[in-house]
Amino acid sequence: MHEWMGVCLGRPSLFLALCASVSLLGGLTFGYELAVISGALLPLQLDFGLSCSEQELLVGSLLLGALLASLVGGFLIDRYGRKQAILGSNLVLLAGSLSLSLASSLAWLVLGRSVAGFAISLSSMACCIYVSELVGPRQRGVLVSLYEAGITVGILLSYALNYALAGALWGWRHMFGWATAPALLQSLSLLLLPPGTVEAAAHRDLIPLQGGEATKLGLGRPRYSFLDLFRTRDNMRGRTMVGLGLVLCQQLTGQPNVLCYASTIFHSVGFRGASSAVLASVGLGAVKVAATLTAMGLVDRVGRRALLIAGCALMALSVSGIGLVSFAVPMDSGPSCLAVPNATRLSGFPGDSGLPSGLTPPLRPMTDQSPGRPVLSTSEKTKPHPGAGDPTALPLPALSIMPAARPSPAPEHALLHWTALVCMMLFVSAFSFSFGPVTWLVLSEVYPVEIRGRAFAFCNSFNWAANLFISLSFLDLIGAIGLSWTFLLYGLTAVFGLGFIYLFVPETKGQSLTEIDQQFQKRRFALSFGHRQSSAGIQYSRIEVSAAC
């Protein structure tokens, strides 16, 4: 195996291809596991007779497992290494998928979903850190952003398999089982890669990986405790402010909840019935893929900071546009028992989507299983939906926020409806080329290697917690101030986020991880990073490798 590693490290193109496969397959696994419940939930409801609260528990169990991983995963990543953490998470995912595929009761289903949530959350953190440390500054942005692209592709793949297996006997068992395929392929790629930058350096005397970081790792490595994240040592407090600020901004702009009304907006411009839900999921999914691929091409050219500023500004304008349009054309639609805002979605996650990473679970129309179920109107809502205020009873990902039977839109409102649709597309695009991939790229760059895993996990836990808070408060917020003002509030939050990015978020384009670390150590406040920095100072170090290595 060591011989194969030497061959891979001696061939840069093969080495980069393997790194790309690790990032892409990791994201694909994450996206597939996150969205597969959409197709499995209805047959599970029929086979096990699940009530609404039981369905919420089943969906929310993924979030519980992911939260646990974000709390303890950082210590595992720093203690056992990035590569071992990914391989271990794939074994855990295999166990969770087996539990789901062979489940005969709700308890086994919840256990399997929790285990799978733990696995994909741990893997998402380790993948971004691992790839960012292995490759050089010129490739780091593209390859880490590839994880976000993999998430969206995984979601679309789950839609396709769910559709193909919908009529199969025990089709939901196959849906859960297929999640292991990309994880196994990723494990094969990992076996041909070194555990980290030190081992990569041992096979090459010229180190273009991280501009001297590998040399630094071998000599007098500093030690950090978890509490150092909040101290002034090496400006760790400033780094933590940057990390937490980014994950909170991407959640507080309401990206998960704005997408809850995607089906309603598609319906309002004339796409009726099931076509509205299909277009809202597949159409927005295609937009996210295109925007993420655009970000991959620009992140190492125009820079992380520029993409964040442009994306956040466009999000503020577009979500405010939706709010203004809804003043003139009210969208009196809301979640039902089987269609409430989903707290299990990640924004840009590793998160994301987070998510790695702003993710939209599939949107589907109301089924015949609940023909008499009323649709809650936001204008009539005086209290949260049962379970919406209970952290243990999480909303479902099977979204279908579609108006109860109403007449076709008046001709004078047609332009406003299409304006809302354009704003929705712009909002999704803006998030997908900014916060979606760039947040996690910056987090994988700004912390010292010795504490990078714990710091990344700490910020990730706030991402999950903020996602949960925003999702569970959505109905209360609409009931208190109305849908239009809710969207305008998200727009105002995006404006504050724009100011935060402009003042405090550094530009790390073209810099090695060591250079980024040194810049943070020299400056007390991240504000000093506002100017553009040149990558001309990147230097490569030659080291002598003894025969014992």
- Give the model's confidence band at 364: pLDDT under 50 very low, under 70 low, under 90 confident, else very high: very low
The neighbour count for residue 454, using CB atoms within 10 Å, is 24
Gap between the Cα atoms of 130 and 186, Å rounded: 13
Q: Which residue has the higher pLDDT, 98 or 547?
A: 98
Q: Which residue has the higher pLDDT, 39 or 290?
A: 290
- Are 461 and 511 in the same domain? yes
At residue 41, the pLDDT reads 81
Percent of the chain with pLDDT over 70: 69
Gap between the Cα atoms of 142 and 230, Å rounded: 30
- Give the model's confidence band at 474: pLDDT under 50 very low, under 70 low, under 90 confident, else very high: confident
The neighbour count for residue 329, using CB atoms within 10 Å, is 18
Mean pLDDT of the region 538-544: 40
Tell me the per-residue pLDDT of 389-398, one tens digit each, with 9 for 90 and over.
Answer: 333 333 344 4
- Are 187 and 314 in the same domain? no
At residue 256, the pLDDT reads 72
- Give the model's confidence band at 319: pLDDT under 50 very low, under 70 low, under 90 confident, else very high: very high
pLDDT at 156 over 60: yes
Structure-token pair, residue 527: 């504000």
CA dihedral (298, 466, 354, 424) in degrees, to 10, reads: -70
At residue 275, the pLDDT reads 58
- Are 26 and 164 in the same domain? yes
- Cβ atoms of 5 and 203 within 8 Å: the answer is yes
pLDDT at 418 over 90: no
Tell me the per-residue pLDDT of 431-466, one tens digit each, with 9 for 90 and over.
Answer: 989 998 899 889 888 888 888 888 888 998 898 888
pLDDT at 386 over 70: no
- Are 108 and 192 in the same domain? yes
- Are 112 and 256 in the same domain? no
- Give the model's confidence band at 526: pLDDT under 50 very low, under 70 low, under 90 confident, else very high: very low
- Give the model's confidence band at 260: pLDDT under 50 very low, under 70 low, under 90 confident, else very high: low
- Residue 370 covered by a domain: no
- Are 23 and 139 in the same domain? yes
Gap between the Cα atoms of 26 and 356, Å rounded: 10
At residue 100, the pLDDT reads 92
Mean pLDDT of the region 7-33: 84
Q: Which residue has the higher pLDDT, 353 or 78?
A: 78
- Are 145 and 80 in the same domain? yes
pLDDT at 366 over 50: no
- Give the model's confidence band at 408: pLDDT under 50 very low, under 70 low, under 90 confident, else very high: low
Beta bridge partners of 363: 399
At residue 281, the pLDDT reads 67
**Which domain-ending residue is among 161, 177, 198?**
198
- Are 231 and 269 in the same domain? yes
- Give the model's confidence band at 8: pLDDT under 50 very low, under 70 low, under 90 confident, else very high: low
Q: Give me the chain's average pLDDT, please.
A: 75
Number of domains observed in the structure of the chain: 2
Beta bridge partners of 357: 348
At residue 10, the pLDDT reads 57
HSE-up (13 A, CA, CB side) for residue 440: 43
Q: Which domain holds residue 486?
A: 227-332+411-524
Gap between the Cα atoms of 88 and 74, Å rounded: 14
pLDDT at 548 over 60: no
Q: Which residue has the tokens 């379970």?
A: 387
Mean pLDDT of the region 228-255: 88
Gap between the Cα atoms of 273 and 402, Å rounded: 9
- Residue 324 covered by a domain: yes
- Residue 107 covered by a domain: yes
Mean pLDDT of the region 2-14: 61
- Are 314 and 439 in the same domain? yes
At residue 518, the pLDDT reads 82
- Are 193 and 238 in the same domain? no
Gap between the Cα atoms of 332 and 361, Å rounded: 22
Q: Which of 59-73, 365-379, 452-466 has the lowest mean pLDDT?
A: 365-379
Beta bridge partners of 336: 339
At residue 210, the pLDDT reads 45
Q: Which DSSP string corresponds to 175-221?
A: HHHTTHHHHHHHHHHHHTS-SSHHHHHHT-SEE-SSTTHHHHHHSS-
Burial class (CB in 10 A: 0-12, 13-18, 19+), 283: middle
Shortest CA distance to 304 belongs to which of 129, 137, 122?
137
- Residue 316 covered by a domain: yes
- Are 34 and 133 in the same domain? yes
Q: Which domain CATH number covers 283?
A: 1.20.1250.20
- Residue 549 covered by a domain: no
Gap between the Cα atoms of 352 and 434, Å rounded: 11
- Give the model's confidence band at 510: pLDDT under 50 very low, under 70 low, under 90 confident, else very high: confident
- Residue 382 covered by a domain: no
- Residue 252 covered by a domain: yes
Tell me the per-residue pLDDT of 84-142, one tens digit each, with 9 for 90 and over.
Answer: 999 999 999 999 999 999 999 999 999 999 999 999 999 999 998 999 888 888 888 88
358 Cβ contact list (under 8 Å, min separation 6): 250, 255, 256, 288, 346, 347, 348, 352, 428, 431, 432, 435, 436
- Are 238 and 282 in the same domain? yes
